[in-house]
Structure 1
């Protein structure tokens, strides 16, 4: 049997001791040393004290500005609690791109490591949020991808610039975490085909990539399959750590509901229609109350979530006051135009997404005009314009007389004292009377006959024409 020489044995022993000394003093990275043995390097969070909690943050339903505000608070509180890990509990069909980008930036900048647990669907903006996490765990049967950009009606947007921007955001998120960027790009852009060798599947141009949980693990888009939250926590080594689940406050839940595009449009419609009906068809009271309530809820929800400020509410009140003044004090439309500008500006400024707010306001305005027109048609007798229009007929039948009526002169004859051009004076009996003709000229001293009396207007013609 071969035996090493004493000198060689001493040399090997010295080298091992020297390596151990360097490792202890930090000259050789621990991760490098572990990799040489074929073992996985421990995560940095595994060194966290046992008191450090694992924080679970739900990312459910529609992704919008209200969710972004809630996640901001939750992530900040997790950092203050020196959490070991943040678990993003994702189950969403997507939502607003702008809100998703803000959430992605929030996750990337988190001081606490993050893992996304997809236990339902991470579609569209949901997949972008998941890609920004350090790790992704997926429940069997869940899916990720299909991140096409759609409009408010759910139709895909073909705008090249918009699609290119969103595809670049998805690609950057994938590259940041070491995932295949082409797969992320193909989740957004149908013009990007991709071949996924690990699963033996090609996605041709014209289709969007969507991965099942098993496929995501094989192509490196997910680190682990987890049937429940417990397995996710075991994966990150947080079994012995406290579990803290963050929940939205009642105010945050309310604000998320208020800032939903459909609810915002409905509130604006109620506000515009209610106030307009009360101004133009007064006397009901209820439309005015509903209108103020609609606008009040709109601004209150946006104020709670941090979008609307006191200045936006003040601008809205100024707009309403200007419209009221315009109704009763004519300013040739100047005050009315200023009032409308103030109202529109306040609503748009109070929103997170000004383009979406402008669209919601336009839809609500059109619907409100239709409802107002119906009310005016039905209740036109109660319209505010009745205060400025004289509706009574000043007729003799109604008892109005502006002058003595000489109806008894009809058929009587007389003599023109002056030429009638066509007005002039005639002598009828002992009275001198101012008369007019039907337009013809009658010389003085001509016999005339009265043919019509309308109030103080007496019409005559030549007497001989009576026999014509």
Structure 2
């Protein structure tokens, strides 16, 4: 018994000594690549949470972004500020940038680093105000939307947005003891700086050529984590590159505005087809699934619900035209509502989060062609003669097929009909229907040629 207690005590002490050694030898690398949106934020936030659960020594964010959505950026920054382990921001590789939203994220990290030939800045916020018709797209990248603003703060709304952004980045700069004056100019004037100048201005803390060089320069650095101070030890660490999983890939696909736009339209048209042809099943199921996925995407995207309502109104009007023809009035109104709603659907001026105009034109043209085709069928149907009841038999020709006592029968439309005629009839005589009396046909005998 004493031997067992002794053995358990040694095992417990060994586990306690081993835990800090594991924590000190794990460094997580998490990519922040491309436009910052819901998928990027989800990948980074979940990766940071997993790193903390695994007791990683610290996390390095590999940043290369032109900017993105304000809501996604703030979600990422909140996760960084609430982290229980150090978070290092590293703009890499050479040629990368941390523009617009990336600048705010870099300022939020405990240590900011850049690779040579990288840059950061251009942090003027893109206005996300009331929905309006977007201007003609400019030939510039999404992250450089605020590189050289024509008139910063020219309206009350713009001044409010810019002042809020200035206060936000100044708070991050003061928290991390970085250059707040340059941060203010990056927001108000949209300035950018390369890595070497950023280091001299006190905007970043380290310039490193690669991850190995970065870890070497981080060794011995003291970081203030909450009320405590932590000394980084990177002499012998294991590097774990956190991969992008299927959830982030799926979220990246469905939160593309063009994909979400296609999903909502496929869903609506699928439901319309199911209602007009009940019992088939598959269009209705596919429609419901597409609509649910699209609504989830719209929940995390900056969507103008006025634009979404106009799109749905347009589809309803065009559908109503097919079921209750109004000689094009409902259809034209539906096309106009659908087009305007599609254009103003995304409530942001970021080009990366706009629906492609060719896609809008294609779907509008498809709906218009479908409407014209439906109207053409309806017009032709109205011009056709009546083919229901027995009235359509008048004028038809038939041949006497059977004589049964006093009854004379002819075959017409695949059925035998009793006929009455003032002239005597014989089998194979040809007759013409002149009237319908009850269930009998009044006919006249045709004269035989020759």
TM superposition score normalised by structure 1: 0.53
Deviation per CA, 1:95-114, whole angstroms, max 9, x where unpaired? 11111011111111111111
Distance 1:282-1:188 versus aligned 2 partners, 3 A rule: farther
- Aligned-partner Cα distance in 2 for 1:248–1:305: 22
Determine whether 1:243 maps to 2:225: no
Q: Give the equivalent residue in structure 2 for 1:262.
A: 258
Distance 1:302-1:111 versus aligned 2 partners, 3 A rule: farther
Aligned-residue offset at 1:354:
9.2
Match of 1:64 among 20, 24, 37: 37
Aligned-residue offset at 1:127:
1.0
Determine whether 1:178 maps to 2:174: no
Q: Decide which structure has the larger Cα Rg and report it.
A: 1
Distance 1:305-1:80 versus aligned 2 partners, 3 A rule: farther
Asked whether the 8 Å contact 1:281–1:376 carries over to 2, the reply is no
Q: Give the equivalent residue in structure 1 for 2:80.
A: 107
Aligned-residue offset at 1:149:
2.1
Asked whether the 8 Å contact 1:50–1:240 carries over to 2, the reply is no
Q: Give the equivalent residue in structure 1 for 2:289.
A: 296
Asked whether the 8 Å contact 1:145–1:209 carries over to 2, the reply is yes
Distance 1:51-1:100 versus aligned 2 partners, 3 A rule: closer
SS at structure 2 position matched to 1:49: helix
Q: Give the equivalent residue in structure 2 for 1:419.
A: none
Match of 1:231 among 191, 210, 213: 213
Determine whether 1:87 maps to 2:60: yes
| RMSD, aligned α-carbons | 4.8
In structure 1, the gaps of 5 or more residues are: 1-46, 191-207, 309-318, 331-339, 345-352, 403-468
Deviation per CA, 1:112-159, whole angstroms, max 9, x where unpaired? 111101011000001111110011111000001111223685555852
Asked whether the 8 Å contact 1:269–1:365 carries over to 2, the reply is no
Match of 1:372 among 357, 367, 378: 367
Q: Give the equivalent residue in structure 2 for 1:132.
A: 108
Aligned-residue offset at 1:382:
5.0
Greater RCO structure (CA 8 Å; 6+ sep): 2
Distance 1:71-1:106 versus aligned 2 partners, 3 A rule: same
Asked whether the 8 Å contact 2:39–2:251 carries over to 1, the reply is yes
In structure 2, the gaps of 5 or more residues are: 1-18, 128-133, 153-157, 220-233, 302-311, 325-333, 339-344, 395-450
- Aligned-partner Cα distance in 2 for 1:48–1:232: 22
Aligned-residue offset at 1:82:
1.2
Deviation per CA, 1:183-240, whole angstroms, max 9, x where unpaired? 11111112xxxxxxxxxxxxxxxxx221110011111111111100111122223231
Q: Give the equivalent residue in structure 2 for 1:49.
A: 21
- Aligned-partner Cα distance in 1 for 2:354–2:68: 16
Distance 1:281-1:382 versus aligned 2 partners, 3 A rule: farther
TM superposition score normalised by structure 2: 0.55
Distance 1:378-1:302 versus aligned 2 partners, 3 A rule: closer
Aligned-residue offset at 1:255:
1.1
Determine whether 1:211 maps to 2:211: no
SS at structure 2 position matched to 1:137: strand
Q: Give the equivalent residue in structure 1 for 2:119.
A: 143
Aligned-residue offset at 1:77:
0.8
SS at structure 1 position matched to 2:21: coil
Deviation per CA, 1:299-336, whole angstroms, max 9, x where unpaired? 3477699969xxxxxxxxxx9xxx8xx97999xxxxxx
Alignment of 1:376-395 (within 5 A): 376-381=371-376, 392-393=384-385
- Aligned-partner Cα distance in 2 for 1:58–1:189: 28
Q: Give the equivalent residue in structure 2 for 1:187.
A: 186
Determine whether 1:161 maps to 2:133: no
SS at structure 2 position matched to 1:220: coil
Count of residues paired in the alignment: 300
Distance 1:168-1:262 versus aligned 2 partners, 3 A rule: farther
Deviation per CA, 1:272-295, whole angstroms, max 9, x where unpaired? 45655x479979x9xx94x97576
Distance 1:371-1:271 versus aligned 2 partners, 3 A rule: farther
- Aligned-partner Cα distance in 2 for 1:101–1:160: 20
